[in-house]
Amino acid sequence: MPQIRTIMLIPTSIGVGLTSVSLGMVHAMEQQGVSVSYFKPIAQTYHDIDAPDHTSEILKANSAISIGESIEMKKAEALLGTDQEDELLEEILNRFHQNINGSEVALIEGIVPTRRHEFANNLNFQIAKALDAEMIFVMTLGNEGPEQLKKRLEIATTNIGGTKNPHIMGVIINKLNAPIDDQGRLRPDLSDIFDDSEKLNTKQLPTSPLQLQPYSPLPILATIPWNPDLIATRAIDLAQHLKARIINEGHIAKRRIRSVTFCSRSIPTMLSLFRSGSLLVTSADRPEVLVSICLSAMNGVEIGAVLLTGGYELDPRIARLCEQAFQTGLPVFLVDTNTWQTALNLQNINLQVPPTDKERAENIMHYVAEQIDANWIQKLTAGSSRPRRLSPAAFRYELTELARRANKCIVLPEGNEPRTIKAAIICAERGIARSILLGDPEEVIRIAESQGLTLPSGVQIIEPRGIRANYVDRLVELRKSKGITEVVAREQLRDNVMLGTMMLERGEVDGLVSGAVNTTANTIRPPLQIIKTAPGSSIVSSVFFMLLPEQVLVYGDCAINPDPTAEQLAEIAIQSADSAKAFGIEPRVAMISYSTGTSGAGSDVEKVRAATELAQAKRPDLIIDGPLQYDAAVMADVARSKAPDSPVAGQATVFIFPDLNTGNTTYKAVQRSANLISIGPMLQGMRKPVNDLSRGALVDDIVYTIALTAIQATQ
């Protein structure tokens, strides 16, 4: 068994963003398929000494990796206070070895040196030595220039032999170009509370590791630029911090606060500050300000929240007047403190991500992981013999990397739909795909701005009315066997899905994604009429990629064919196996039925048995078996009992359901009961890629469906 690589992150000071770096490191390793475990030897919190470790709690809520149990800080302090450091290190070693569970890399998070925990630096080094860990320092530059980097690292490594210590891997520099005041304190967009923004450090430092490396005596493993979106707290967290009374709940659990504005001036001078993500603070006895804010909300501005100060009760007549704005999701809450006291309370908010804020945790993990060199991560486990299992993080990473390399253009017929616009912007910013939004340009830009977004160059808006006439003759030609006239063709092209399909048919775009508003039938009908099936395919089917905690499974067909024949089911199995292989999943295909092997009889079982034999004969290179019950296909212990000779049972990665009723019900039951992400449906068998969305799709669902479509366009 290869030796486990142990890496310890050691903070050089308070405020380096250690939790964010730890989350990003774990995610970067997961993306590369590295088996990683996490261990914080001693739980450390800033307010409650008995609270669980913060990073551990976030990872438990957002990852399936093995996480060690931390020692309570008060217990560690008691042992250190009685000269029992050896006993403490022995307990840490014991918990560490209970945690690693066959992982390739064990990531250890050190203790942050604070006034209360002045022993942190020495203890970190003792822990690293006890665990034989390689050390990575985590630091910020604050308001200092890069020329101070060498001196600070030399000071940090004084007690361990200096920067030449062979156990030091390097340094990660976090929060580059963060808003810092002249005292070195982080001031994230709350500067207008005290009106001292002119005192903030505006000097821009280089953000590339190559640019900073000449100043550092240690290898720079990552430089992480400051990103204000990563500290955008939810309105509900702010309300809880202030102990506020909720006047209107709205979307309080979803809206995020990116700036704070005190509405103490006249309304005309404040209108430009009524913007997306802003917390607008006003005295509760200024109804004219609240009404103005509500008018902005009714005009599509997604204001973060309204905070009323002074403890005055909201006049019921004003509340009724604002009712329509409240229905847009605008959160409104009330505090008893005056404006000055409220400003002080706002400044003291803890900007750490709560474990319950899954979206923000995932954004932090993704952003930080992007800054870490993937080649360095791969070298950590060079020579490891452990078989790779495609985890959800590795699958999403593979999707985005393959899509970037594909560099395709995807048309989005629902161009004025808010989620679709945001997804298109994300795809452009991450280089996943270029997008064309079909819609009125002014409306699309207005919707984007109301979400605080700006359309980048990788997103193009096309007004449908200006191009419909270009496709009339071609549509008549393609559908002449159905008697389509020019008048009918013009009418059909009023449907943006049909228009996008014609752009795809002509080769002006590489793929089409729709369904956030349109039904599956409306999305699929035009492509079936115009694009048709690929050579060698007689049927169009679909798969979902089910992102279970430890691996990704493929389910088909859960969206298209109500009751396929045995021949069609065999083709669905082959299409799904090929799709799995295309996206890095080793296909082991289970043909699902209500009985396993020869234990059952009936027309439904016979159909699955016949489909299995047809698929095996047509593609002997694939591992296909059936009929198998779901538990026999997925659980090794059940497989040993029900299908001991099956090459698939207990280890299936592709599940083919006998009909749409079974497939759709199963995928939704698994998705909702386990609260997991499913990507799809991805259509198979089309001559050019077209994919359908669920009407309840999240922004991330749309992003990954666009990535799938871009990759399909290369195949």
Query: pLDDT tens-digit profile of 641-665?
Result: 898 889 999 999 999 999 999 999 9
Residues 711/583, Cβ–Cβ less than 8 Å: yes
Residue 185 has pLDDT above 70, yes or no: no
Residue 638 has pLDDT above 50, yes or no: yes
pLDDT one-digit tens code per residue, 204-261: 777 788 888 999 999 999 999 999 888 889 999 999 999 999 999 999 999 999 888 8
Q: 677-696 burial, b if ≥16 CB within 10 A, otherwise e?
A: bbbbbbbbbbbbbbbbbbee
Joined together, the tokens standing for residue 191 give: 């500067």
Residues 6+ apart with CB under 8 A from 470: none
Q: What Cα–Cα distance (Å) separates residue 590 from each residue in 357, 441, 538, 611?
A: 36, 47, 21, 11
Q: What Cα–Cα distance (Å) separates residue 165 from each residue in 23, 381, 402, 657, 679?
A: 26, 22, 39, 58, 46
pLDDT band at 186 (very low <50, low <70, confident <90, very high): low
Q: Look over the chain and give the mean of its residue pLDDT values, rounded to a whole number.
A: 87
CA distance 678 to 672: 10
Q: What is the 3-state secondary structure (H, E, C) of 507-569?
A: CCCCEEEECCCCCHHHHHHHHHHHCCECCCCCCCEEEEEEECCCCEEEEECCCCCCCCCHHHH
> What was the pLDDT predicted at 618?
94
Domains of the chain: 5-230+359-379 (3.40.50.300), 244-334 (3.40.1390.20), 392-530 (3.40.50.10950), 541-685 (3.40.50.10750)
Residue 198 has pLDDT above 50, yes or no: no
**pTM above threshold 0.85:** no
Residue 651 is given by DSSP the state S
Residues 627/593, Cβ–Cβ less than 8 Å: yes
> What was the pLDDT predicted at 707?
94
CA distance 682 to 304: 35
Residues 516/414, Cβ–Cβ less than 8 Å: yes
Residue identified by tokens 């021949």 is 567
Query: Which residue type, as a one-letter code, is found at position 498?
Result: M
Q: Per-residue pLDDT averaged across 494-509, rounded? A: 95
End-to-end Cα separation, the chain, in angstroms: 38
More confident residue, 284 or 188: 284
Long-range contacts of 264-268 (CB under 8 A, 24+ apart): 264/339, 267/292
Residues in the chain: 715
Q: 554-567 burial, b if ≥16 CB within 10 A, otherwise e?
A: bbbbbbbbeebebb
pLDDT band at 194 (very low <50, low <70, confident <90, very high): very low
More confident residue, 450 or 554: 554
pLDDT one-digit tens code per residue, 458-481: 999 999 999 999 999 999 999 988
Q: Per-residue pLDDT averaged across 413-426, rounded? A: 94
The share of the chain scoring above pLDDT 70, in percent, equals 94
Residue 81 has pLDDT above 80, yes or no: yes
The share of the chain scoring above pLDDT 90, in percent, equals 48
CA distance 284 to 336: 10
Residue 195 has pLDDT above 60, yes or no: no
How many other C-beta atoms lie within 10 A of the C-beta of residue 664?
A: 19
Residues 167/136, Cβ–Cβ less than 8 Å: no
Instruction: From 73, 91, 79, 104, select the one nearest 130 (Cα to Cα).
Output: 91
More confident residue, 397 or 71: 71
pLDDT one-digit tens code per residue, 143-180: 788 888 888 888 888 888 888 888 899 999 999 888 87
Q: Per-residue pLDDT averaged across 340-356, rounded? A: 86
Residues 6+ apart with CB under 8 A from 445: 455, 461
